[in-house]
Homo-oligomer: A and B are copies of this chain.
Amino acid sequence: MRVLILGGDGYLGWPTSMNFAANGHEVLTVDNYMRRHIAMDTDSMPLFDNPLLDQRAAIFKKETGHDINVRIGDLADFRFVESVFSEFKPDCIIHYAEQPSAPYSMRGFEEAKKTFDNNLGATFNIIWGMLNHCPDAHMVKLGTMGEYGTPNIDIEEGYLEVEHKGRKDKFLFPRQAGSLYHTTKVLDTDLLYFYCRVYGLRVTDLMQGPVYGVVTDEATDNPELWPNFHYDDQFGTLINRFLVQAVAGVPLTVYGKGGQTRGYLDVRDTLQCVMLAANNPAGKGELKIYNQFVEQFSVNQIADKVVKAGKELGLDVAVNPIPNPRKEMEEHYYNAQHSGLLELGLKPHYLTDEEMINLLKTVISGKDRIVERRIMPRVVWNKK
């Protein structure tokens, strides 16, 4: 397949690029380095150094013989999108090209506007790149479980059958996100749903939970090929942040009561899921939706796991609940379906004690690089 990976410099975009190339696909990976710029501007650099895309592609080529083609540019600029799509004519588009930090999107007007314009602008332009140059191609879009919020009913996979006053219909599962970042993904879903129904686009929208981990099959030993691993309050996902706090000797920053429950997955399972989605494309006019996670945990359960694994490695990990900087329910019902990707063949990696110890060991290898001032939350939801 000709696979166009948008947002290919990201935590998931880069390992996805390696994974598709290693599996024999023709890969073009695109990024505008927005996340790198924001990370530099906000003192949120990742734990390990990540060479720029051209360098990483060259290292990967040397190690494996596989090509990853690179283009740098802004997908919110339609001229760039036209140039990429008219030249590459992809069969499959993996769309990660969004400002990915919820806290950043909540800092203030400028950050909100950048997130809104980039995420919606990129999605809109990518849709039209497809309509103009490859209307039968398949888009695999990264959404988020956060689109659903924390409803008081079971979360189904994307859609909900409703019986109301004796009549029935099937709708998109209701969405009610808790940050502007997550809300841009709700709007993406609505927009893609329209372009599927009315213009016959093929899209698979993956509602993904928080991802953890560093090492993937294509980059076990060479940290230069690892994805960016953030532990700051903006780009760091929960488990990754806790791992670094444990290693740094900083008490784990549980927000509020810690009953917040989400569905988590290993970065290696993201790669499997995206590959499965790409190999099982949506039909013409279809918006397929999968819930992409492996296990549900509350924040407190994860903190306990980190404490336990730390003990095995001689780390004395403390837990320190702090006032919640976010506006979210800290105790709530949560039960999300996630059978679709398992049925396609996903072989999950579970967050076992052994796996947690391996993760801690990886972080310990970068212990000297931890900058403690990046750890505590710096953005409060709705300071206004």
Interface footprint category on A: 35 or more
B167–A382 touching, CB < 8 Å? no
Asked if residues A382 and B199 are in contact (CB atoms below 8 Å), the reply is: yes
How many copies the complex holds: the figure is 2
Contact residues in B for A350 (Cβ distance below 8 Å): none
Cross-chain contact A198 with B327 (CB below 8 angstroms) = yes
User: What residues of B have a CB within 8 angstroms of the CB of A132 in the complex?
Assistant: 109
Contact of A1 with B by CB under 8 A: no
**What are the residues of chain B within 8 A of A177 when measuring CB–CB?**
194
C-alpha gap A168/B179 in the complex (Å): 24
Q: Closest residue to A147 on the B side, CB-wise? A: B190
Complex: chain B residue closest to A154, CB-CB: B165
State whether A128 and B109 are in contact (beta carbons under 8 Å apart), knowing that A190-B187, A193-B176 are contacts in the complex. yes
Contact between A167 and B153 (Cβ–Cβ < 8 Å)? Answer: yes
In the bound complex, residues from chain B placing their C-beta under 8 Å from that of A131 are 109, 384
The answer to the question of A116 belonging to the interface, with a C-beta cut-off of 8 Å to chain B, is yes
B171, B333, B384: the one contacting A174 at CB < 8 Å is B171
Q: Do the beta carbons of B174 and A194 come within 8 Å of each other?
A: no
Question: Chain B contacts of A162 at CB under 8 A?
Answer: 153, 160, 162, 174
Q: Does A151 contact B (CB under 8 A)?
A: yes
Contact surface of A with B, Cβ cutoff 8 Å: 78, 109, 112-113, 116, 120, 124, 128, 131-132, 135, 151-154, 160, 162, 164-165, 167-169, 171-172, 174-180, 183, 186-187, 190-191, 193-194, 197-200, 327, 333, 381-382, 384
